[in-house]
A and B are shown apart, each in its own frame.
Chain A
């Protein structure tokens, strides 16, 4: 029940600590590396021991943070803490995360979207793009937790569902 609360407190403490040590950017990079290593370790991607090799390479702030987490027996909440830290970091810096998935590379659309986001007040956008041919056409844009699904695949899915609902008597 309190997992969110716990993670939030640790994340905020880490942020303040990073500020005090004047090492916000290093901590941010370390958190990203640690998060990636954790995910790969948990996913058993065949890259065994990645976490063990990652930790010694981290800066002293995050190492100290990990020690405190372990000492308090809150290692279970570590993924949530890292996630919360990144949310707080982005909020502080005014960074919006956005992703664009499209069926084919759309460089002109990317540029347009970036300009659009800039106009909307998102000064700094952490923009990732990926290609998914199963969309058939169109794109899926996600800014924070808002999603704009303008892909052909999902429109076809919607059409199929609507027709099925209307004609369920016959099917």
Chain B
């Protein structure tokens, strides 16, 4: 599961839906993998305003990744004057699209439920009493 996806995923339980603590989910015993993806500058630009950068920084810290910039990069930083992709764009691409959780757990900060991740797929099936 790409870190991009984790920046949008919340706890699935109804009781957690409107609580701030249910996002972001916290990785536990996470194994990371690097997956090569083709650079898609327009996609990164499209996603930039939607990212929750605070959650991104929390995630990077919890995964032991290098510290991220304090503020969300802005669209102007993605290409240089001649329109070439900048290092900022490449770093974002690596972080969001190529860094993935291969296995481990995702824990809700509100209810404590642990969603298992195996082969990159998170199990969000809830037993009916938890729906």
Chains A and B bind each other: no
Question: A residues near B, CB below 8 A?
Answer: none
